[in-house]
Amino acid sequence: MNNIIQNNIANRLGGKDFGKNTGIYKFAKIKKAKQEAMEIHPDRKIIDLGVGEPDWPADQIIVDRLKDECSKPENRFYSDNGLPEFRKACLKYMLTVYGIDFLTEKNVMHGLGSKPILAMLPLCFINPGDIALMTVPGYPVLGTYTKYLGGRVYNLPLLEENNFYPVLDKIPDDVLEKAKMLYINYPNNPTGQVATNDFYKDVVDFARKNQIVIISDAAYASLVYEGSPLSIFSVDGALDAAIEIHSLSKAFNMTGWRLAFIAGNEQAVKPYGTVKDNTDSGQFRAIQKAGCTALEHPEITQGTIKKYSRRFDMLVTALTEVGFKANKPKGSFYCYVPIPKGTKSGAVFNTAEEAAEYLIQESSIITVPWDDAGSYLRFSVTFEADTEEDEKKIINDIKKRLKGLELEF
């Protein structure tokens, strides 16, 4: 076979060796174990607690607005860097939900989900050799792009002993000198920890002292089970150093719609706008308008929060009864628990990946394993269940199956 294409692949993807790595990655392993479990136990229903997406569709008023808007001829054009109407809706949302009253239309801009925004921000700030400080475990996109651009990633582990916050005062001076961006994400995927005012204050002080841009990924910011949703902009001076990314994916059950927005000072929004303008031509206007309807109805999120909270109460009780050290998270839809040591029958789990594979093989329960900072399993409450009765049945089934494994902790 002629190798013209393979031989020209960029080094950032492995060059000529791209695609030849035989290592199997975490999510591929889970997929394989799921397939095997379905073949070996065709009668045992898979319970998927690994899903990182809401189980509900978007609210009907959002869907109806899209239906209405998508047939209007004026919505067919490129929207470039976004509709003024969407920006206005973002500002109103920031005021109503987060109490942030000083942003103007120059401080917000839409994106096709927070993922592409996180991919574009390193293009705004990273030169070869520059460093992005990334909390781990976590959502890796900003770090991946930093590396694509010849930058480096310095990991900040989120450990239980530090309440799943990064320790900022132990970062070596030579790293700080080259650091351009600090990525944080609260409520956190996967630990479920939320930010406090004091934490954000420390982060802002750190960023100002070391002249580092904070990228605050607020994808789950509205999904909190205690207190009120918190924006980093609640802290004095945050607008000088922080960029916050909000998404409609989890707050409004709109993952596939691809709509998010960046908030920050003009100096932050402008370079993002330049990169974005050279990358996409904006989200479909009808989707942005439906997004306005969502942002104008933040009470929609309350129904989702109520459902997740109810499911967590049942799940945490069930996991605790089985022996897991499980606590209800303060935010997000993830419950993050240390792995069992093994089973009474002699299985031993050295890593979370091993534990997760065992759970799939032996009980057809899917979780997501994390081995980056201790070994943990992530249980998500976004499993499919139509009624509260179904939720109870599923949780009871989870408990029964896990009990049957005779796990040792």
Ligand X SMILES: Cc1ncc(COP(=O)(O)O)c(C=O)c1O
Q: Tokens for 88?
A: 């206005």
Angstrom distance (rounded) from CA 403 to CA 397: 10
Closer of 139 and 145 to ligand X (Cβ):
139
Q: Measure the N-to-C terminal CA separation of the chain; round to a whole number of Å.
A: 53
* Binding residues among 188-227 for ligand X as defined by CB under 6 A: 189, 217, 219
Q: Which residue is nearest to ligand X (CB)?
A: 113
Q: Which of 79, 107, 114, 288 binds ligand X (CB under 6 A)?
A: 114
Residue 87 C-beta-side C-alpha neighbours within 13 Å: 16
Question: What's the min distance (Å) between Cβ of 139 and ligand X?
Answer: 4
Q: Does residue 55 belong to the site contacting ligand X (CB under 6 A)?
A: no
Question: What's the min distance (Å) between Cβ of 100 and ligand X?
Answer: 19
Closer of 255 and 343 to ligand X (Cβ):
255
Closer of 249 and 364 to ligand X (Cβ):
249
Closer of 294 and 322 to ligand X (Cβ):
294
Angstrom distance (rounded) from CA 22 to CA 14: 13
Question: What's the min distance (Å) between Cβ of 365 and ligand X?
Answer: 20
Q: Which region, judged by CB under 6 A, interacts with ligand X, from 43-51, 60-68, 110-118, 318-326?
A: 110-118
Q: Does residue 320 belong to the site contacting ligand X (CB under 6 A)?
A: no
Question: What's the min distance (Å) between Cβ of 52 and ligand X?
Answer: 4
Question: What's the min distance (Å) between Cβ of 133 and ligand X?
Answer: 16
* Binding residues among 132-171 for ligand X as defined by CB under 6 A: 139
Q: Does residue 293 belong to the site contacting ligand X (CB under 6 A)?
A: no
Q: Does residue 246 belong to the site contacting ligand X (CB under 6 A)?
A: no
Closer of 114 and 222 to ligand X (Cβ):
114
What sign has the CA pseudo-torsion 330, 334, 336, 342? positive
Q: Does residue 79 belong to the site contacting ligand X (CB under 6 A)?
A: no
152 DSSP β-pair partners = 131
Q: Does residue 125 belong to the site contacting ligand X (CB under 6 A)?
A: no
Q: Does residue 110 belong to the site contacting ligand X (CB under 6 A)?
A: no
Distances (CA, A) of 335 to 1, 55, 291, 332: 48, 16, 28, 9
- The candidate with the shortest Cα–Cα distance to 242, out of 367, 126, 121, is 121
* Binding residues among 257-286 for ligand X as defined by CB under 6 A: 260
Residue type for position 271: P
- Binding residues for ligand X, rule CB under 6 A, total 13
Judge contact between 142 and 183, C-beta under 8 A: yes
Residue 234 burial (CB count, 10 A):
15
Angstrom distance (rounded) from CA 103 to CA 402: 49
Distances (CA, A) of 251 to 336, 358, 379: 20, 32, 19
Q: Does residue 65 belong to the site contacting ligand X (CB under 6 A)?
A: no
Residue type for position 389: E
Query: How does strand 407-408 pair with strand 342-343?
Result: antiparallel
Compute CA 228 distance to the chain's CA centroid, rounded to the nearest angstrom.
19
Angstrom distance (rounded) from CA 79 to CA 32: 41
Q: Does residue 115 belong to the site contacting ligand X (CB under 6 A)?
A: yes
Closer of 158 and 407 to ligand X (Cβ):
158
Q: Does residue 382 belong to the site contacting ligand X (CB under 6 A)?
A: no
Residue with tokens 């890593």: 351
Residue type for position 238: A
Q: Does residue 255 belong to the site contacting ligand X (CB under 6 A)?
A: yes
Q: Does residue 48 belong to the site contacting ligand X (CB under 6 A)?
A: no
Contact set with ligand X (CB under 6 A) = 52, 113-115, 139, 185, 189, 217, 219, 247, 249, 255, 260
